[in-house]
């Protein structure tokens, strides 16, 4: 009788172990996603704080050190670049003037920094910094369910001091 019970427990373990490990690793991925979101939200706030003081008056979002503040806040663990529509923005070509028109899907494990065009304008205007990061889970089952990844977006808005 005891010998048969050992075989039963092996079968039960074989059935339940994949479910247990999927839940365990899924919880780790969820923790990574929350950490990533909190990091990019903090970096967006730091970028907005950089654009608000008087030192950025008469500068654009690319000449004011907003991008440097965002990337230094995140450290080396995240790959961020300026949103392609912001990089091509000129005074005559004001592409993507609102955060809703920012580029939606960056490559996997990469983020885009969108900066509002009114950085440097006087008159107590709102400055917006938006970061979109394409989070890629580690667990293959979760990664397959997520498709291309999960777009995490954090946005910060403040009013200029000049």
Tens-place pLDDT, residues 117-146: 877 777 888 888 999 999 999 988 888 887
Tens-place pLDDT, residues 56-100: 776 766 667 888 888 888 887 788 888 777 766 665 666 666 777
- In this prediction, residue 33 carries a pLDDT of 94
More confident residue, 31 or 140: 31
**132 bridge partner residues:** 112, 153
**150 bridge partner residues:** 135
**Mean pLDDT (whole number) for 137-160:** 88
Tell me the domain boundaries of the chain. Answer: 2-159
CB-count exposure of residue 65 (10 Å: 0-12, 13-18, 19+): middle
What integer best gives the mean pLDDT of the chain? Answer: 83
pTM for the whole structure = 0.82
**Mean pLDDT (whole number) for 36-64:** 83
């Amino acid at each position: 009788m005891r010998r048969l019970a050992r075989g039963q427990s092996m079968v039960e373990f074989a059935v339940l172990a994949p479910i247990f490990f999927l839940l365990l690793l899924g919880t780790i991925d969820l923790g990574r996603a929350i950490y990533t979101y909190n990091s990019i939200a903090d970096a967006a706030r730091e970028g907005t704080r950089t654009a608000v003081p008087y030192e950025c008056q008469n500068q654009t979002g690319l000449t004011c050190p907003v991008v440097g503040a965002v990337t230094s806040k995140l450290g080396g663990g995240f790959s961020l670049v300026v949103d392609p529509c912001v990089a091509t923005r000129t005074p005559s070509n004001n592409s993507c003037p609102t955060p809703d028109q920012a580029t939606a899907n960056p490559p996997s494990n990469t983020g885009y920094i969108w900066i509002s065009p009114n950085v440097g304008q006087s008159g107590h205007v709102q400055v917006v910094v938006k970061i979109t990061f394409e989070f890629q889970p580690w667990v293959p089952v979760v990664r397959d369910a997520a498709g291309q990844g999960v777009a995490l977006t954090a946005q910060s808005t403040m009013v200029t001091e000049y």
